[in-house]
Structure 1
Amino acid sequence: MDVISTSVTNLDIHDIARISCTYDVRRYYVIHPLDTQRKLIQDILNYWQKGYGATYNSDRKAALDKVALIQGLEETKEEIRKETGFSPTVVTTDARVYPNTVTFRDLRQKLRDGSPYLILFGTGWGIEKQTMLECDYILEPVYGPGDYNHLSVRSAVAIILDRLLGEVWWSR
């Protein structure tokens, strides 16, 4: 449970941007405290948002235009406050259950209220415990039929956004 900083991967940025675009997420924030990682991330974003990649692949540009790079959680919440006029409800994700855990069904219902929500996904060993405890809700874990429970962040984002924002296929 040591606090570490993970390296960002190009695949995570691209895939989560595409997932965010598919589910009509207003903004996909990449939050990283390290200058070296933010420089790498910004180089990737510049290539696809402004550089050759923007003209080479317009679909990828559209997805990556939803990405904003930010240094910390407080700055992210402040940007959302400025953009919407409201403080976001902050929801974290984890493979463990906490006292303020919310179900997918309950959060899906809450998302309909029109207020801003910020859903945090972690990499490596997940989001630090103090951040988890300070958030409004912690989303229940994604469980499969097996005992293994350590999804890649891009897989978790895809599953979770589909459960929260995807079509209601089961009631047809």
Structure 2
Amino acid sequence: MLNKLYVALIHYPILGREEQIISTAITNFDIHDISRSCRTYNIKNFYMVSNLPAQRKIVNNVVDYWREGYGSTYNPNRKDALSVFKIVEYLEDAIEDIEKIENEKPKIVFTSAKPREKAIDFSELSKVIEEEEAPILILYGTGWGMPEEIRDICDYDLEPIRGNSDFNHLSVRAAVAISLDRLIGEKVLNNKNNI
């Protein structure tokens, strides 16, 4: 069901360069650009997950400026894009929020740039999205990717994005936009008519 899609960008727990669990820093571009992609594809909510209070405070200041401050009148499109944005402390908070909205737990999709066994391809997940009655939450990682503890709670494992080259180091902003287009394409529903 296209009107029950959610996205989360995980900043904790995340793998560091040496496979240790870390928290990654939030970038301003991710807030704006992923919100814009999510709003374009009618994603119901885009959750940014950070366990660091200082990071969440900075994000709230940025978002408040564009939603309620001078930025809301200076650039109404930015305000509209950020209407789908929420910042939460933990992934569990995003899952609980979706459960409150939808009255059921979401199916969760793991993504990674690393090849993995038993990952489903984009056409398979696109079909699931069209046919699944439960809400679906697609997770994207930062740093060196999400740890196995997150993969273990997921219902689906999506194949990596591959271009026609031996280089594969997309920004997470680009990965979200590309994957949403591959999964949804032109099949965008108007959430206002389908809530």
Aligned residue for 2:144? 125
Hey, what's the Cα distance between the residues in 2 that align with 1:137 and 1:96? Answer: 15
**Do structure 1's residue 136 and structure 2's residue 149 form an aligned pair?**
no
Superposition misfits of 4+ residues, deviation over 4 angstroms: none
SS in 2 for 1:30: strand
List gaps (5 residues or longer) in structure 1: none
Query: Counterpart in 1 of 2:62?
Result: 44
- Per-residue displacement from partner, 1:18-74 (whole Å, max 9, x unpaired)? 101111111111111111111111111111111111111111100011101111111
Deviations along 1:116-171, one digit per CA (max 9) or x if unpaired, are 11001111111122112221111100011222212100000010000011127xxx
**Aligned to 1:65, what secondary structure does the other structure show?**
helix
> Is 2:106 the partner of 1:79?
no
Q: Which structure 2 residues correspond to residues 23-34 of structure 1 after superposition, within 5 A?
A: 23-34=41-52
Report the number of matched residues: 168
Which residue pairs with 1:162 in the alignment? Answer: 181
The 1-side partners of 2:117 and 2:54 are apart by: 35
Deviation of 1:5 after TM superposition, in Å, equals 1.4
2:167 to 140, 148, 153: 148
**Identity rate of aligned residues, in percent?**
44
The structural deviation recorded for 1:97 is: 3.2
Give the CA deviation at 1:99.
4.0
- Please give the TM-score of this superposition, normalised by the length of structure 1: 0.93
Q: CA RMSD in A?
A: 1.3
When normalised by structure 2's length, the TM-score is 0.82
Deviations 1:95-130 (A, max 9, x none): 123344121111101111342110011111111221
Q: Which has the higher contact order (CA 8 A, sep 6+)?
A: 2
Separation in 1 of the partners of 2:48 and 2:105?
Answer: 18
Distance 1:17 1:57 in 2: 14
The 3-state SS of whatever aligns with 1:134 is: coil
Q: Secondary structure at the match of 2:150?
A: helix
